[in-house]
Amino acid sequence: MVTTSAERVPANTSEKLNERIWDEMEHRIVFYAQHPELIQNRLEELDREWDVERLIETEGPTMTMLGIFLSITGGRKWLLLPLFAQGMMLTHAIQGFYPMLPLFRALGFRTQAEIAEERYALRILRGDLESIGDAGQGTDVRASVAFLASRVRPT
Amino acid sequence: MSAVAMSSTRVVEQTDPRVNQRIERQTEINVNYYANHPELIDDRIRQLDAEWDVERVLEMNSASLTLLGLVLSTRNRSWLLFSLAIQGFFMQHALQGWCPPLPVLRRMGFRTEAEIQSERYALKALRGDFAQGADPRRLSQAVHH
């Protein structure tokens, strides 16, 4: 019933949509492999991209606050709207299901983990993680190269 | 501070820099440990896939408290203000990054998904997932699994 964090959204998305999101990423990786000079721009776009949680966290409170306001002016039956919206938010947090998720995924909204797939593929294309495969180095050097090259905001 | 912040760093920007540093330092310690114990990397990556990020915790807490306020409002309608305030703050979190429980959760060590992924990719690199070079199609597979 409690879904793994990594699986929460993909497990509640149709296989077709999951594959489409991945295919589109693969196409972009092929494109940026041929246009490495555009990688930096793309990485900045990825930092700005709205992930599906952020969208849900904007849409959920909007519906909930709307329902509460309507219940004050238009009768208490409107409280069913925030009740439903927050019941669904709780379901989404624990199990992953959310009524708007199929729509948001069809519109192409990704999880932060999916965005990270593209971010790290681009960094590898750029050569950020190149020296890690070097077995001649000491373990501590490899560890610190891996850590530094993988930071959210590399220095 | 802009009204609508960057997605990947909006939580980090709203966290005390010392707390961010402590979280990053812990990640560095983890990466260093698993570099020395490569046989444990598979297990660690499974743990990271199960780790609750700060968004998931906030979604659960805000929904629980808001539902509580809605239920209590049947006895006293002023509880609606409680639910309203939580949802207002949660919206602020979505747009701008900050909300009242965030400093506490960050001090407890809850990471953003981007921070969890940074440990994950450091470990994947150490495991040799990206050693086959930069062929774009194989690379797309390698980041996905």
CB A119 within 8 A of CB A46: yes
Task: Provide the sign of the torsion angle of the four alpha carbons B82, B86, B91, B95, taken in this order.
Answer: positive
| A104-108, A131-135, B37-41: the lowest-pLDDT one | A131-135
Residues of chain A in contact with residue B142, where contact means CB-CB under 8 angstroms, are: 121
B interface test, pick of A140, A150, A155 with most B CB neighbours within 10 Å? A150
**Residue B134: predicted pLDDT:** 67
**Residue A134: predicted pLDDT:** 61
Q: pLDDT tens for residues A2-19?
A: 899 999 999 999 999 999
**Residue B137: predicted pLDDT:** 86
Q: Mean pLDDT per segment of 10 residues, for chain B of length 145 residues? A: 79 95 96 95 96 97 98 95 97 95 97 96 92 80 85
Question: Could you tell me where the DSSP H helices lie in A35-138?
Answer: 39-48, 52-74, 80-94, 101-106, 112-126
**CA-based nearest residue to A86, from B89, B111, B70:** B70
Could you tell me the two tokens for B85? 């305030």
Contact A89 B63 (CB under 8 A): yes
- How close A94 gets to chain B, by Cα (Å)? 7
Looking at the predicted structure, is the pLDDT value of residue A1 above 80? no
A interface test, pick of B4, B37, B58, B66 with most A CB neighbours within 10 Å? B66
- This complex has an ipTM of 0.93
Could you tell me the two tokens for B71? 């239920």
Looking at the predicted structure, is the pLDDT value of residue A135 above 90? no
Q: pLDDT tens for residues A20-52?
A: 999 999 999 999 999 999 999 999 999 999 999
Query: CA B26 to CA B21: how far, in whole Å?
Result: 9
CB B23 within 8 A of CB B108: no
Residues of chain B in contact with residue A29, where contact means CB-CB under 8 angstroms, are: 136-137, 139-140
**Residue B130: predicted pLDDT:** 87
Q: Give, in degrees to the nearest 5, the angle at Cα A45 between A41 and A50.
A: 175
CB B116 within 8 A of CB B48: yes
- In degrees and rounded to multiples of 5, residue A127 shows phi and psi of 95, 10
HSE value, Cβ hemisphere, 13 Å, CA-based, for A32: 25
**To which residue do tokens 């624990």 refer?**
A94
Looking at the predicted structure, is the pLDDT value of residue A92 above 80? yes
Q: Give CA separation, B134 vs A30, A48, B126, B141, in Å.
A: 10, 25, 16, 11
**Residue A128: predicted pLDDT:** 84
